[in-house]
Amino acid sequence: MTTNGSYKIADLCDAAAEGDVGKMRRILHAQPDLVNVHMAESDEHRAIHYAVVNGHADAVRVLMEAGADHTSGIYPHRDATDALTMARERGLDDIVHILQEEDERRKLAACKNIAITRENDALFEAVQEGRDADALAILDRHPDLLDACHRNGGSVIHAAASRGRYQLVQELLKRGADIAHLTPEGQSPLDGAVHNIRGRNRPIDEGCLICAGMLLQAGCGQSLESAIALGDVAFVREYAKQHPHRFQSNDSDRDGLLQIAVQNDNIDMTRLLLDLGLDPDDKYQLHHYESKPYSWGQPLAHAAGHAQYEIAELLLERGADPNASIYASGNPVEAAYNNRDDKMKGLLFRYGGVLTHITAGLEGETSAAAVALHNDPSLAERLLWAAGCGGDPNIVGMCLRQLDWEANDKRWFGLLEQPLRLWRASPHRRFRDFDRAVYPEIFRMILDRGVSPNLVGRFGYRLAHRMAACGVVWGQTIMTEPERIAFATILLDCGADLDVIDDLLLSSPLGWAARWGKYDLARLYLERGANPTLAGAEWATPLAWAKKKGHDDIADLIERYL
């Protein structure tokens, strides 16, 4: 506790780790907002993670009753570290039951229309998969499900409209589906359709556009967000008269209204919203961190990355910052580089945009990086980080000459991780025509500098662990298995130790390979002497991972070495 008597997130996490339910209740009574706060910006542990890994079922129940989110994992392996997954994989059945029971209670409490039945699940599965005839057949047999909501929220017509199934929406309207019913988040079927008209880096979804028109014609109520997306100026003006507070700049809340107008490429709506008082930078706080750091929204970055010159200039004229840092997502100048748009770069530079040394490293601007490093040699670490991501061996070589750290200096670990990201091949990159072979080369360059291959990263994992779990971004696989083996071979040739255990999954690198289903990597590790039984717990052995995750080929491989 601090001297003024207020609690810190560390207090709640410590109590959860110890199973001290009484102390947890006192903390949550005084500061309920701590229940979903991360330990730190570099550590996404929440209190519920500590309660689960220490097996404290009562503590888990207290946190869930207080509103804990068990679906959030821990970076950089979020898919393996949400509370429910960790409880399942550790065989903590009592905790799994508590989490699932509270899940169901929350769903039923969120909406009176939610129906948790086999028939309802089948109905929504048919809608999601585009099997309209099957969905209607289920409704013929169970007409009472017409206005029932899915266990995850949202009615049948909301689900259909969100996916642009306009023929199904038309039939549901004929049957009298309730278009006034909202999801637990307050979305109408119209909101669902409008929200999905434009997606990330994809063309307009005409099905969703048709659904929006049908629902408007049917009298579905329009929200402010939908009106902005559809360009309904009259609605927005009238709304602003009745709710002026929604348009006043407020650093602590983020509506994202300006972002909607920019995403829909509507300069008139963008101008209107700015005239009504919205902040051109869309600044907001990140409440999941105790320090509540600020980030900026993405109106200008979106415009910069999508060649929206008039909107970008309007935002800049109204005071948008061309160098505004979007949390973990770059800035407008980087967005223009990602779009390979010299015209947009010029516009941003004209309004004070700066080519930072980070952007120079990420984008392979070797000359700019060389000048920056010459003027300030202390930039070497950050510039090396960026060039490792961006894949520029020349910049990497420049920076390595400036660093005289010891082989076991922990700072090397984060730099060695960067080539493994294959950043230029990530789905956020508009152009991916890049020679990926430079990444293993950069990885070797850093290790050849004499860096230890056995450095310990966050939560006790080593690079040999990381090899098994990297290579997927936004659900897309970007690392090929031959590339994974190339990286791993370099690491092993430099002396990486395979008989080590991490703190999060209590597993060896071979255990991680088994968990993530990397057969070729598991075989390489076994061929290079990995202990096939090493683990920090019985549930975490390589064989246990292979069996529980259904990787029979890896299980057979491990059993041959046993």
Does residue 498 fall inside a structural domain?
yes
From 101-110, 120-129, 492-501, the region with the lowest mean pLDDT: 101-110
Does residue 378 fall inside a structural domain?
no
Predicted local confidence at residue 252, as pLDDT:
43
Average pLDDT for 304-332:
91
For residue 289, what is the DSSP state? B
User: What's the predicted TM-score (pTM) here?
Assistant: 0.87
* Listed residues 77, 110, 143: the one ending a domain: 110
The number of domains in the chain is 4
Predicted local confidence at residue 41, as pLDDT:
81
Predicted local confidence at residue 296, as pLDDT:
55
Does residue 184 fall inside a structural domain?
yes
Predicted local confidence at residue 170, as pLDDT:
97
Predicted local confidence at residue 198, as pLDDT:
81
CA-CA distances (angstroms) from residue 226 to 202, 283, 489?
19, 21, 52
Q: How confident is the model at residue 1 (pLDDT cuts 50, 70, 90)?
A: very low
Angle at 68 between CA 18 and CA 184, to 5 degrees: 170
Predicted local confidence at residue 151, as pLDDT:
84
Quickly tell me which residue has 């415009």 as its tokens. Answer: 303
From 74-83, 409-418, 492-501, the region with the lowest mean pLDDT: 74-83
Q: Which residues of 97-112 are buried (b: 16+ CB within 10 A; e: fewer)?
A: ebbeebbeeebeebbe
Q: What's the rounded Cα separation, in Å, for the pair 517 and 501? A: 18
Average pLDDT for 226-241:
95
Same domain, 308 and 444: no
Q: How confident is the model at residue 291 (pLDDT cuts 50, 70, 90)?
A: low
From 289-298, 323-332, 356-365, 502-511, the region with the lowest mean pLDDT: 289-298
Same domain, 438 and 537: yes
Does residue 56 fall inside a structural domain?
yes
Q: Give the number of other CB atoms < 10 A from CB of residue 79.
A: 12
Identify the CATH number of the domain in which residue 299 sits: 1.25.40.20
Same domain, 410 and 557: yes
User: Is residue 436 within 8 Å of residue 422, measured between CB atoms?
Assistant: yes
Predicted local confidence at residue 384, as pLDDT:
98
Same domain, 103 and 129: no
Predicted local confidence at residue 475, as pLDDT:
87
Q: What's the rounded Cα separation, in Å, for the pair 141 and 155? A: 18
From 302-311, 322-331, 384-393, the region with the lowest mean pLDDT: 322-331
Predicted local confidence at residue 284, as pLDDT:
65
Q: How confident is the model at residue 116 (pLDDT cuts 50, 70, 90)?
A: confident
Angle at 186 between CA 202 and CA 61, to 5 degrees: 105
How many Å separate Cα 301 from the centre of its chain?
18
User: Is residue 417 within 8 Å of residue 446, measured between CB atoms?
Assistant: no
**Is 250 a residue whose pLDDT tops 60?**
no
**Is 3 a residue whose pLDDT tops 50?**
no
Same domain, 100 and 176: no
The pLDDT tens digits of the residues spanning 180-190 come to: 999 988 899 99
Given phi > 0 = left and psi -120 to 50 = alpha, else beta, which region is 201? left
**Is 525 a residue whose pLDDT tops 90?**
yes
Average pLDDT for 484-498:
98
The pLDDT tens digits of the residues spanning 160-211 come to: 999 999 999 999 999 999 999 999 888 999 999 999 998 655 678 899 999 9
Average pLDDT for 42-62:
96
Same domain, 234 and 159: no
Q: What's the rounded Cα separation, in Å, for the pair 237 and 276? A: 9
Q: Which domain holds residue 202?
A: 118-221
Predicted local confidence at residue 2, as pLDDT:
43
User: Residue 83's closest CA among 108, 110, 66, 63?
Assistant: 63
Same domain, 414 and 317: no
Same domain, 423 and 544: yes
Same domain, 67 and 89: yes
Paired tokens of 81: 């570290």
The pLDDT tens digits of the residues spanning 122-149 come to: 999 999 999 999 999 999 999 999 999 9
Question: Looking at the DSSP assignment, which residues form a beta bridge with residue 294?
Answer: 285
From 240-249, 360-369, 515-524, the region with the lowest mean pLDDT: 240-249
Same domain, 68 and 159: no
Predicted local confidence at residue 200, as pLDDT:
58
Does residue 359 fall inside a structural domain?
no
* Listed residues 91, 110, 129: the one ending a domain: 110
Does residue 376 fall inside a structural domain?
no
Q: What's the rounded Cα separation, in Å, for the pair 203 and 182? A: 27
Q: What's the rounded Cα separation, in Å, for the pair 337 and 18? A: 49
Q: What's the rounded Cα separation, in Å, for the pair 16 and 83? A: 13
Average pLDDT for 290-305:
75
Same domain, 524 and 411: yes
Does residue 4 fall inside a structural domain?
no
**Is 4 a residue whose pLDDT tops 70?**
no
**Cβ partners under 8 Å of residue 261, min gap 6:** 228, 229, 269, 270, 273, 299
Average pLDDT for 525-552:
97
> What backbone phi and psi angles, to 5 degrees, belong to 284?
-155, 165
User: Residue 189's closest CA among 152, 214, 167?
Assistant: 214
Considering the chain, what is the average pLDDT of its residues? 92
Q: What's the rounded Cα separation, in Å, for the pair 360 and 13? A: 40
Gap between the terminal Cα atoms of the chain: 50
Better-predicted residue by pLDDT, 496 or 474 = 496
Burial label, 14 (beta-carbon count in 10 A; 0-12, 13-18, 19+) = middle
Same domain, 82 and 123: no
Does residue 205 fall inside a structural domain?
yes
Q: How confident is the model at residue 294 (pLDDT cuts 50, 70, 90)?
A: low
Q: How confident is the model at residue 246 (pLDDT cuts 50, 70, 90)?
A: confident
* Listed residues 192, 221, 250: the one ending a domain: 221
Q: What's the rounded Cα separation, in Å, for the pair 126 and 491? A: 47
Q: Over pLDDT 70: what percentage of the chain?
A: 94
Predicted local confidence at residue 288, as pLDDT:
64
Counting every residue, how long is the chain?
A: 562
